[in-house]
Amino acid sequence: MDTKNILKGYQDIFNEKAEKLFFSPGRINLIGEHTDYNGGNVFPCAISLGTYAAFGNRNDRKIKMFSENLPDKGIIDFSLDDLDYKKEDDWANYPKGMIYFITQAGHKLDHGFNLYIHGNLPDGAGLSSSASIELLMGTVLNDAYSLNIDQLDLVKMGQKDENDFIGVNSGIMDQFAVGMGKENQAILLDTNTMEYHYAPVELGNNVIVIMNTNKHRALADSKYNERRSQCEAALALLQTKLNIKSLGELSIDEFDRNSYLINDDILIRRARHAVFENQRTLKAIKYLKENNLIEFGKLVNASHISLHYDYEVTGIELDTLVEAAWEQDGVLGARMVGAGFGGCAIAIVDKDKIDDFQINVGKIYKEKIGYEADFYIAEISNGPSEISISKVEK
């Protein structure tokens, strides 16, 4: 994205020059889907697509925000003295929630600001545009007001924003992946203990292709919360005999030996996905360290199959993309990412086969679904940061 256009956009809207410029990435999860709220492991990374913000201080207590992605909403303004959730504030509730929790934590914002936002993440595609905005706002405030908030605390505030301000019962993976991202590395995060370490993602001659179904998926309105409560119900039944706090603590063998305690077909399948997916994630790290990309790709495929049959969160659009990807030359693996029910999938594709891959998969998808899919090459990037305006203006 041309960052000069963002500075120009700020000037056009607010009739002044921006003082600061920031970027916050989106994220993909290589493997470990729907495990974060089940106390399991996840393996996400930040990506080079994301959200940009131009910032300027104000001398009153007003906050004014404008999104280039939603220009019809106009400038949304509110006061530092009234940070309650308001439906009419629409997308601005995401950054507003971060302002609310940062001030609740005792950090002082003594004046307002103007903010101009432009993202190149497809909206509602499951690449964590909401976490990108949350951590963007946290980074902006941390820098502009010299708050010295620890990055991990900003990540936790981002999840709090999502859960308690927006009302989506999500785990911490999205905010963690965005906030703690490192170039060319993914993060193995144990959501039970919050222990994490970085692992290099060396894919040789392969790249990660994001495949967007272009079916909009509103997370708050999806069956996400239903899946979460089903896993909680399965866990409660297992806890009648087992001393565990989460499904992520179970090995495959322990689950097999104790699944009779659940005694419900749907709940068994939901829990089985959480347990098996957690183990797949741990195996995936091992194969990447051994540079065994073939076996890593097989695990990626197995993740999608489990999300389709056991967790039932894929749907015809995602299945069509992934199954078409599996048929192409030079594909190591493919699966849906994110909450499901639309959004995106990823494929690990030989660089030399990308053009054929996009043409062939795109054609199959258009014929079956009736509209086009979009494709993006994703680079694994750093977390949120300030961009030097002087370098942009050169």
- What residues act catalytically? 174
Q: Do residues 307 and 179 make contact, with C-beta atoms less than 8 angstroms apart?
A: no
The residue type of 124 is G
Q: The tokens of 378 are what?
A: 């994703």
Q: Which residues have a Cβ under 8 Å from the Cβ of 102 and sit 6 or more positions away?
A: 109, 138, 141, 147, 149, 157
Percent composition of the chain: helix, strand, coil (DSSP 3-state, to 5): 45, 20, 30
Q: How big is the chain by its Cα radius of gyration, in Å?
A: 21
- Phi/psi at 9 (5° precision): -60, -45
- Phi/psi at 77 (5° precision): -125, 145
Q: Do residues 97 and 166 make contact, with C-beta atoms less than 8 angstroms apart?
A: yes
Write the burial class of residue 362 (CB in 10 Å: 0-12 exposed, 13-18 middle, 19+ buried).
Answer: middle
